[in-house]
Structure formats: structure tokens, C-alpha cells
Amino acid sequence: MNKPKIAFFDFTSCEGCQLTVIDALQTHLDLLNAVEIVQFREAMTEKGEDYQIAFIEGSCSRESDEARLRAIRERAETVVALGVCAHLGGINAIRNRQPLEEVRAYVYGDKAAWYETGPARPISAVIKVDAVLPGCPIDREEFVRAVKHLLQGRLPQLPDYPLCVECKLKENVCLFHRGKVCLGPVVRAGCNAICPTYGDSCEGCRGLISNPNLDAMKDVLHEAGLTVEDILTRFTMFGTYQLDEVRRTEGG
């Protein structure tokens, strides 16, 4: 039987999701035997252009990225966005909140024109994406489950309920009760509530669920003495692009 050929690609990112893939493979060597990795620049020299499944990490942040993304799309049967940068623009999109010229000038001064750049966007802004592995970084076990699904010819499914569900199952003390602010009530579960479990608030790296209960969220915020604006500002750490899109849709 032919093993499915898979390839990994990266755009604007820290490559932490690919490192998480390497970490996941080290405890699932069986997966490594079930596939043929034909391209993975961070880990291997060989560069095969014949693949069925493409995992793409990173945001599209310059025009010249677009042709490369389209070429991957043409070759791959299935494109999977790996991590929040590819999924939603991620941290990179914070810069979209300021005029691009200011951002460029702050870092590169009068030499800014030497380096091509644009606003940071999810890859779905350029090509069709078949499946998403959210998070910053991706969740190891979710990646392993996703590969198993793909090997069976199915697309991985994401939970579409809020993080609070997982947090409750883990019997964590709610961070709001500890005087902290958490995005758990409106953010997609699937990470096993790892940040609240380790005492830190959810920062929303997995993005909003498709139908967040905003009224309940407002009540929680009101009790904590916070406004919707406070929490939206927090959400811009990973979700600037998604928020802008919601606003565009509502305004448009």
C-alpha cells in the first residue's frame, strides 16, 4: 500500500507548531511509519513536490507569499492550517492595528522600503483551507488525532463549545473567582484548558467559537467590573484579524 505523502510549509511564524509536530512524532513513531514526509525544510534537506496533504504554518504577510500558497494548493488534495498564525493571522496581526508605514519605520527606519511586507492575514484569505488545527502552539494530541483522521480519509473536526467546558471537567477553580480575566467563555475548546490549568487566563489563541454566548460573557464581565471593550482588547493578542473580520461583516 502506498503511504500518503505529506509536506510541511512555513510562512510568517516562529515555527513552534512544526516543533510541536516533531515533539508529537517522537512519542508516536507509528505515525511516522504510516506516512511519507516529502518536504519539511526545518528538519530535512530533501524537497519533494508530490504530496497529498500539506500542513501550512504561518501567516501570509507579503504579496510574494501568495504565489507560493497557490502552488501548494494546486498540488495538495488537502490543505491543513497549522496553528493560529495560519488559521487566524495570530500574533502577527497585532501589527494590523497600526498603520503599516509606522510599523515599518519603527523597526527599519529610513531603510523600511528595502523589505517587502504587508498586513498579516490567515492563509484562508488567499487559498481554500480544508481543515484547521488551531492554537499557539497547536495541541500535540489534537495534531495526532487529526493525522489519524486524515489517514482514514476524513477531515478532523474541531469542538465548537467554549473552553469553560473543559476547564470545568478538569475541576479548575474559575480564574474569575481568583480575580483574573479569562477569555474561556467565548473561545474554542480543544486544548484541554491548558492555560487555566496552569493558573493563567485563556488568551484566545484558538479563536472564537462560532456562536459565542455574548450575553453570558457580558454578565461575567459586568460582575468582574469589566467592559466588553476591555475583553476585546485582550482578544486582539491573537484575534485581531478575526475581530476585524467580524466588524467588517457587521458593518458591511
Q: Which residues contact another protein by CB under 8 A?
A: 10-20, 22-23, 26-27, 29, 32, 37, 40-47, 61-62, 65, 90-92, 94-95, 97-98, 102-104, 106-109, 111, 114-115, 117, 136-137, 194-195, 197-200, 203, 237
Cα–Cα distance for residue pair 7/221, rounded to 1 Å:
43
The CA–CA distances, whole Å, from 69 to 34, 190, 208 equal 26, 27, 25
Closer residue to another protein in complex, CB, 90/162: 90
Tell me the closest approach of the beta carbon of residue 191 to another protein, in angstroms: 10
Closer residue to another protein in complex, CB, 33/152: 33
Query: Which amino acid is it at 110?
Result: D
Closer residue to another protein in complex, CB, 115/161: 115
Cα–Cα distance for residue pair 218/200, rounded to 1 Å:
21
Tell me the closest approach of the beta carbon of residue 215 to another protein, in angstroms: 26
Tell me the closest approach of the beta carbon of residue 251 to another protein, in angstroms: 23
Tell me the closest approach of the beta carbon of residue 101 to another protein, in angstroms: 11
Cα–Cα distance for residue pair 203/184, rounded to 1 Å:
8
Tell me the closest approach of the beta carbon of residue 211 to another protein, in angstroms: 27
- Residue environment code for 125-153, b if the CB has 16+ CB neighbours within 10 A, otherwise e: bbbebbbbbbbbbbbbebbbebbeebeee
Residue 252's CB: how many other CB atoms inside 10 A? 5
Asked whether the beta carbons of 59 and 85 are under 8 A apart, the reply is yes
Tell me the closest approach of the beta carbon of residue 245 to another protein, in angstroms: 19
Closer residue to another protein in complex, CB, 68/218: 68
Closer residue to another protein in complex, CB, 130/232: 232
Burial class (CB in 10 A: 0-12, 13-18, 19+), 85: buried
Closer residue to another protein in complex, CB, 105/130: 105
